Structure 1
Amino acid sequence: MSLNLIMNTATSGLMTAQTQLRVVSDNVSNVNTPGYVRKIADQVAYASNGIGAGVEVARIRLATDRFLQAASLNAEADAGRYGVRAELYDRIQSLMGDPGGSGGILGQVNSLFSAFSTLSDNAISGPYRQQALSQTQVLFDEATRIAGQIQAVREDADARISAGVARANELLSQIEAMNVEISRASVAGGDTTGAEAAQASLIDQLSGIMDIRVSVRPVGGVQIRTGTGMLLAGDGHATLEYQRAGAVNAETAFDDIWLTEPRGAKRSLLDHLGSGELRGLVELRDQEAPAASQRLSELVTRIADELNRAHNASTSVPAPTSLTGRNVGTSFEAAIAGFSGTTNVAVTNGSGAIVARAEVVFSGGTMTVNGTAATPANFLSVLNAELGGAATATFNNGVLSFQATNTANGVVIADDPASPSSKTDRGFSHFFGLNDLIRSDRPALYDTGLTAASPHGFTAGETISFRFAGASGARLRDITVQIPPGATMADLVSALNDPMTGVGRMGTFALDAQGRMGFTPLPGSSVSYSVVGDTTTQTTSSVSLSELFGLGRGVRSSRLDGFSVRSDILAQPSRLALARLDLNAAPGTPALSAGDGRGALTLADAGERTATFDAAGSVGASSMSITRYVSELAGDIGGRAAANQSRADAATAVRTEARQRQASHEGVNLDEELVNLTTYQQAFNASARMIQAAKDLYDVLLGMVQ
């Protein structure tokens, strides 16, 4: 071996040892730096012309374990997803209050029925009437407040989605910039560990926003894809787009999160988003919060309906001069058809005696008034004739009204106790809302009683637009359906379900026996829909198709903030209907008693009566009492909040464990670094001594030549 080769070999050892010592120094100095990944200098033998010529550092790399990194990224995504769900759902739960306490809407339901129970023993007490009415109004005011707060939660989630998208775009841009820098350094044989460490930190941040898969590129840097394989970075970076909603309300149709791959097409990200903060926010905004709102809306609607059922069965003393119903959303002919049983329209004088009475009998599709046959078309004229001018019934804009001719008289609607009138499980007065205690500024009941043969009342050519979404929430398609020329509900349902011009490619609409319209997805499909546009107007009632049948989650949820106690009763509690009309009273004797509290007892018992609840949120239709529904709602909300918190805790624990394992492998071990320090110091000294020995040999040889 020549002295030059010895010198070169020793020099390579010296330089390699210096590089190793520098790497050890960097590791030791960052022993307490969070997220720091240990550097490793890969040392290899160097050969020249097939002859060993020393050693060299092939590259300096990070001690990264791709499997541990993948586990850590997945854990970070899950923690982000369930963390925001738990945080925002906890806010929803706090809005409901403690069902066992007096605060919050769930507790106030019990207080409402207790107030009417107290009133039943003190029917003539003005203060007790006022207390019951105040407690009722407080309940509906609280419902209105909660409706606004739930929308505020959705708006907060919407804002955070927008911020998350902006942050993801920034991170993807920086990650791709690091890819370029790392590739250039790799080609030039430079140290890329600094850029790789910075890039790893950016990737960690991105994994909290959305679930990702990371792979190493042959040219240096990384390639990042979504869990389903859509390219995010590595050959240029993808761009995410999201348009925030304007004024957020129950009917807001939020935009998709759009992803445009590098040199690729624009597609919905939601189908490719399995976890991360964005997924959690979308789930909370589009599923969890609306479900809570829908269930609460259904509860408040049934409370209002059962209170109205009880109030319509009674009357105030003296009886009111006029009765004005609610907008039933159909023509009178369609509304009056389908009743069974017997009801009575009575006019009473100031002392409570009946001065005029019309007995209405519905049987097998026929109807009579005091024995006189009537049809849906002439029912009102026959009824008015039988009342003999003592009162007049009219129907305008979907609303039935009665007005006593003499302002000293009153009007009472009373069902026959043995055979009460009924349609969609509501008596005559209750169906038309003639003596409702609770009013709503929009349609709230969707069991219309319409059949396939009923006229729909909409104008041909008007349109309703549906937006269909998949299980992930990603938009599938928008479909606009025109009102057909045919006038019946069968024609309307057929047009809605047309596979070419309707929604038949997604599912079918159908009327049930109560006149409710429901949507059923195609077998094996899990699509959902919302109404994003509705230009329809029912000619009789001026309500839209979506309002009449409660089409879409938004319309049903929006009922929540529309209820209130009737203003005239709030102003004059004496108008509260607490008495029952005695149909067997002798002519000229009072049929009403001011001290009669049977109506208050019925109001108090309304919470225990079995009511039919429509499907709401993820809970199907059911029949149960209001008090039981309150209990189940409280349990459901609490259980979901606890489940989300439990998932968040579990995800956080998994993330902590994954990070610890990753840190134990990638972090700095002082004992190991001290061993390396000693090893490379000795290697440095050995190389230096070889250089010194070669120098000495050179000196001897030179001396011999001289």
Structure 2
Amino acid sequence: MSINLYQTGVSGLLAAQQQLATTGNNIANVNTEGYTRQRAEQATAVGNYNGGNFVGSGTYVQDITRLYDQFSYKEQLLNKSNLGNADSISLDLNQLNEIMSFSSEAIDGSIQRFYQAVNGIADNPNDIGIRNIALSQAKVLAQDFNSLNNNLDQLEKSTNSEIEQMASKISQISLDLAKINEQILQNKDINQTGQPNELLDKRDQLVNELGEYTSVSTIEDTYGVMTVMIGNGATLVAGITPLTVSVEAGNPDPLQTKLQLNSRNGKVALDASKLGGAIAAKIEYRDEHVTQARNELNRLAMAVSQTLNQSQAQGLDLNAKQGQNIFTDINSTVLQNSRVLSSSKNSGDVEGSLKITDVSLVPTNEFTVKYDGSDYIMTNTRDGSTTTLVETTPGVYPTEFGFEFTVNSGTPNANDSFTFRPTENSASLMKVTLNDPKGIAASSAIEVQAGDNNVSNGSVSIVNVTDPEIARSFTDTTNENLTVDVYESAPDVFSYRVFNAATPPPAATIASGSFAAGATAVIDMPPSPAAAAFQIEIEGLPVGQGALARETFTIADAFGSGNASNATLMAATQEEQILGGGKQTFSQALATATAQVGSSASSAELIADTAQALFTQAYNRNQSNSGVNLDEEAANLLKYQQAYQASSQIISVANTIFDTLLAVSR
């Protein structure tokens, strides 16, 4: 009897000792990251049959388990991935917003100051000092565009570096998880109840860390070995076999790096949009937000350059020469060629380019093009719509988006693909190409003077001057008194003719025709087959009273150092709605692009706050079960200490009884 009592006391003593050890271990690891609270699972030993009864034989600790709830842990893991994604995109967009806000303010200020100088030229076209100021402000404007583009370049490069670092970190975690799986496999017997709790904690901690970079799902087999999958199910760790994630150059743009999953048998491309976590946020930020901001900047730089260059080309400088480009030609060979990117997988040898035909129609998105063996099929990446490009002249394919594709050389093969970027490099290559202040074309070449006897609201205006020098010669030399007369030849029908009034009557007709009320007539001068140097437009209701009462307009040479008509037209382009399908001025387009980034940053911040709140809730739920509570552990410590002391007393009583029995036997 005393022996059984002794064994019972010893079993209680050992059980209490293990309970104390487990409780102490919990207390010691209260601040250990990733530690899961442990509990000694105590059970009753099988009783001994004695005297017709089963007499209890004590207790034992059957297992030391982790207080682990896989559902709350997986909820925490899911919210960790969402938080990593939201925090990353919010932080990056805030940085982009700061850069865009500061730089946009500088660009808008430069635009304002440049136009102030142009208005100064319009007021005093002879002043070389004001002309110098205008060129200086033009250089500042170009430099501001260059600077913002350089900032976006740095953001792209730093983001690529971060993506590479994250890929390396994911690969390292994969290796560590495979090693822990191997250790667990070596330390765990399927027939044993004990678990390597510390290894399991370390593994869960690594999975949790992995969840910050990408979404994670796991499967555990009967031996405790875990398979880890990322994104939409790509296996990262297959038991004790780790796979790695690496970065490869993008195609056709090397800077748009891609992710791939590597194994011993090869590599597989990863879909970044389905990876989740911080790494997906980085790729989204680079490919969508930074790219969109850059495209908006490029389109604005293109519009500013083209508009002011066109204004220059319509006027004459102080040397009576056609105004040369102020800024880099948007259709320079370098810019045209840079807008077409060919896939490195193409088997054909086509070299192509994009020429801008209408800045107001150019979108900010890019297009993908595939040659199907007979046609070029262009897909709009914004909405997925497709267009079959039709060749109008050899090697030239116009589009409805303000640009045309030209095959410069080579022959395509089926499945060759290309990427069209209509605005590419417009900001980075924007430079002031006009250095002589006398070269600013402030003067118009020709002007229209209405006859003194005209009484209607009809008017003739000069439009689309392509060669002001020839236009001037045509009105001043070829035709000394170029005249347009108009009258109502029939109800609501107006007839016109263009002739040289200096020629003895009857003067030969240079051009003639008619138009209906509400319409206009646009006439090429010189007429075909000569190349038109300018056009005249007749509009309104020039009502005359028959052949002897025609309304007349004289077109004459207007050049002069004091003529500022073209400078006035150039200054007016500041308020001209050119971008966004002819709905936005330069400043409005810049403000809209900046506001879009700001709106995205604000939205991302709200999403990040929500993600943080959800993660905190999930973390607290998990910790309420798995975390160490010092108050609870202190109470357990006292309880198991008392159990230890009580078991010691049982042993003491058993010893006393045993000693008594020995004494009696003597």
Q: TM-score, structure 1 length as denominator?
A: 0.65
**Residue aligning to 2:126:** 124
Contact persistence 1:75–1:658 (CA under 8 A): yes
In the alignment, structure 1 residue 438 sits paired with structure 2 residue 305: no
The structure-2 alpha-carbon separation of the partners of 1:106 and 1:649, relative to structure 1 and needing over 3 Å to count, comes to: farther
Q: Among 188, 193, 199, which residue is 1:195 paired with?
A: 199
The structure-2 alpha-carbon separation of the partners of 1:665 and 1:518, relative to structure 1 and needing over 3 Å to count, comes to: farther
Offset of residue 125 of structure 1 = 1.8
Q: Among 549, 554, 571, which residue is 1:604 paired with?
A: 571
The structure-2 alpha-carbon separation of the partners of 1:688 and 1:658, relative to structure 1 and needing over 3 Å to count, comes to: same
The structure-2 alpha-carbon separation of the partners of 1:21 and 1:59, relative to structure 1 and needing over 3 Å to count, comes to: same
In the alignment, structure 1 residue 579 sits paired with structure 2 residue 443: yes
Q: How does 1:97-108 map to 2 (within 5 A)?
A: 97-98=101-102, 101=105, 104-108=106-110
- Distance, in Å, in 1 between the alignment partners of 2:398 and 2:82 is 40
Q: Helix, strand or coil for the counterpart of 1:161? A: helix
- Distance, in Å, in 2 between the alignment partners of 1:141 and 1:464 is 26
The structure-2 alpha-carbon separation of the partners of 1:98 and 1:602, relative to structure 1 and needing over 3 Å to count, comes to: farther
Contact persistence 1:65–1:662 (CA under 8 A): yes
In the alignment, structure 1 residue 282 sits paired with structure 2 residue 283: yes
The structure-2 alpha-carbon separation of the partners of 1:518 and 1:148, relative to structure 1 and needing over 3 Å to count, comes to: farther
- Distance, in Å, in 2 between the alignment partners of 1:231 and 1:675 is 44
- Distance, in Å, in 2 between the alignment partners of 1:49 and 1:232 is 53
- Distance, in Å, in 1 between the alignment partners of 2:253 and 2:233 is 33
Contact persistence 1:316–1:575 (CA under 8 A): yes
Amino acid across the alignment from 1:599: N
**Residue aligning to 2:428:** 561
The structure-2 alpha-carbon separation of the partners of 1:662 and 1:592, relative to structure 1 and needing over 3 Å to count, comes to: same
The structure-2 alpha-carbon separation of the partners of 1:657 and 1:500, relative to structure 1 and needing over 3 Å to count, comes to: farther
**Residue aligning to 1:96:** 100
- Distance, in Å, in 1 between the alignment partners of 2:137 and 2:397 is 33
Contact persistence 2:2–2:654 (CA under 8 A): yes
Larger Rg, first or second structure (1 or 2): 2
**Cα deviations by residue, 1:285-315 (Å, 9 ceiling, x for unpaired):** 2222111111110111111111122222222
Q: Among 188, 209, 213, which residue is 2:213 paired with?
A: 209
**Residue aligning to 1:298:** 299
The structure-2 alpha-carbon separation of the partners of 1:590 and 1:443, relative to structure 1 and needing over 3 Å to count, comes to: closer
Contact persistence 2:170–2:245 (CA under 8 A): no
**Residue aligning to 1:360:** none
**Cα deviations by residue, 1:636-677 (Å, 9 ceiling, x for unpaired):** 122122223333333334334433343343222222112211
- Distance, in Å, in 1 between the alignment partners of 2:572 and 2:48 is 101
**Residue aligning to 1:226:** 230
The structure-2 alpha-carbon separation of the partners of 1:652 and 1:443, relative to structure 1 and needing over 3 Å to count, comes to: farther
**Residue aligning to 1:431:** none
Amino acid across the alignment from 1:94: E
Backbone CA RMSD of aligned residues: 3.9
**Cα deviations by residue, 1:341-397 (Å, 9 ceiling, x for unpaired):** xxxxxxxxxxxxxxxxxxxxxxxxxxxxxxxxxxxxxxxxxxxxxxxxxxxxxxxxx
Contact persistence 1:481–1:501 (CA under 8 A): no
- Distance, in Å, in 1 between the alignment partners of 2:124 and 2:67 is 81
The structure-2 alpha-carbon separation of the partners of 1:650 and 1:264, relative to structure 1 and needing over 3 Å to count, comes to: farther
In the alignment, structure 1 residue 21 sits paired with structure 2 residue 17: no
**Cα deviations by residue, 1:51-97 (Å, 9 ceiling, x for unpaired):** 65432222223323322322322222223223332333333333334
Contact persistence 1:464–1:480 (CA under 8 A): no
Q: How does 1:13-162 map to 2 (within 5 A)?
A: 13-47=12-46, 53-98=57-102, 101=105, 104-162=106-164
Contact persistence 1:89–1:284 (CA under 8 A): yes
Amino acid across the alignment from 1:6: L
Offset of residue 594 of structure 1 = 0.8
Q: Helix, strand or coil for the counterpart of 2:318? A: coil
**Cα deviations by residue, 1:302-342 (Å, 9 ceiling, x for unpaired):** 1111112222222212222xxxxxxxxxxxxxxxxxxxxxx
Offset of residue 501 of structure 1 = 9.2
Contact persistence 2:23–2:637 (CA under 8 A): yes
Which one is further off, 672-681 or 582-591? 582-591
The structure-2 alpha-carbon separation of the partners of 1:72 and 1:3, relative to structure 1 and needing over 3 Å to count, comes to: same
Contact persistence 2:341–2:420 (CA under 8 A): no
**Cα deviations by residue, 1:131-162 (Å, 9 ceiling, x for unpaired):** 22221221122212222221221111111111
Contact persistence 2:167–2:247 (CA under 8 A): no
Q: TM-score, structure 2 length as denominator?
A: 0.69
The structure-2 alpha-carbon separation of the partners of 1:132 and 1:648, relative to structure 1 and needing over 3 Å to count, comes to: farther
Offset of residue 26 of structure 1 = 1.7
- Distance, in Å, in 2 between the alignment partners of 1:482 and 1:518 is 26
Contact persistence 1:238–1:259 (CA under 8 A): no
- Distance, in Å, in 1 between the alignment partners of 2:186 and 2:375 is 56
Contact persistence 1:70–1:214 (CA under 8 A): no
**Residue aligning to 1:626:** 586
Q: Helix, strand or coil for the counterpart of 1:552? A: strand
- Distance, in Å, in 1 between the alignment partners of 2:317 and 2:427 is 28
Paired residues in the alignment total 523
Q: Helix, strand or coil for the counterpart of 1:96? A: helix
Q: Helix, strand or coil for the counterpart of 1:624? A: coil
Q: What are structure 1's unaligned runs of at least 5 residues?
A: 321-411, 413-433, 449-462, 468-477, 485-492, 520-533, 614-620
Q: Among 560, 564, 583, which residue is 1:593 paired with?
A: 560
Q: Helix, strand or coil for the counterpart of 1:668? A: coil
Offset of residue 100 of structure 1 = 8.1
Amino acid across the alignment from 1:582: I
Q: How does 1:686-697 map to 2 (within 5 A)?
A: 686-697=646-657
Offset of residue 259 of structure 1 = 1.5
Question: Identity of counterpart residues, as a percentage?
Answer: 21
Contact persistence 1:45–1:56 (CA under 8 A): yes
- Distance, in Å, in 1 between the alignment partners of 2:203 and 2:70 is 14
Q: Helix, strand or coil for the counterpart of 1:662? A: helix
Offset of residue 42 of structure 1 = 1.9
Amino acid across the alignment from 1:438: F
- Distance, in Å, in 2 between the alignment partners of 1:298 and 1:196 is 55
